[in-house]
Amino acid sequence: MKVLVLNGPNLDMLGTREPSIYGKQTYRDLVIELKKEAKKEKIKLKIIQSNFEGVLIEFLHRANNKYDYIILNAAGLTHTSVCLYDAIKAIQVPVIEVHLSNIDQREDFRKINYVRPVCLASFYGKGFESYKDALKYLIKRGVSHDSHR
């Protein structure tokens, strides 16, 4: 199974940005944990982080016929980006939404979620475990895309 992990704005600041919300582990720690988990499960994982919406959209577009699934932490773009919504709808690769914090129980503006309606599933509120839960979900699901949305 081939999985693309796309991480959005400010995730490169993990460990220093609001550690009371996002924890003290760094982005590098996240990448190491995900690669270790993927190796254990024999998943081919590519991990990308960008602070730019257009870069994330380009990676979504290029994912067709290259990946079985995409795990997306759109970060703050979750609450603002109709463009990400449209990009996810435009591709055939199923997308799983992930967030470190529980965005449904934070500021009111975070309750707006443009990404969730076009994602196969959502995992959030458990820090790095949210990503691991998404990987476990994909393992159980396999590579079938029959009813991906």
Catalytic pick among 69, 99, 124, 131: 99
- Phi and psi at 4, nearest 5°, equal -100, 130
Q: What six digits make up the tokens of 53?
A: 């919406």
Catalytic residue flag (residue 85)? no
Catalytic pick among 22, 69, 114, 131: 22
The Cα–Cα gap between 33 and 127 comes to 12
Catalytic residue flag (residue 131)? no
The Cα–Cα gap between 73 and 4 comes to 11
Helix (H) or strand (E) holding 71, with range, is strand 69-73
For residue 45, the cross-strand partners are 3
Query: Which sequence positions are flagged as catalytic?
Result: 22, 99
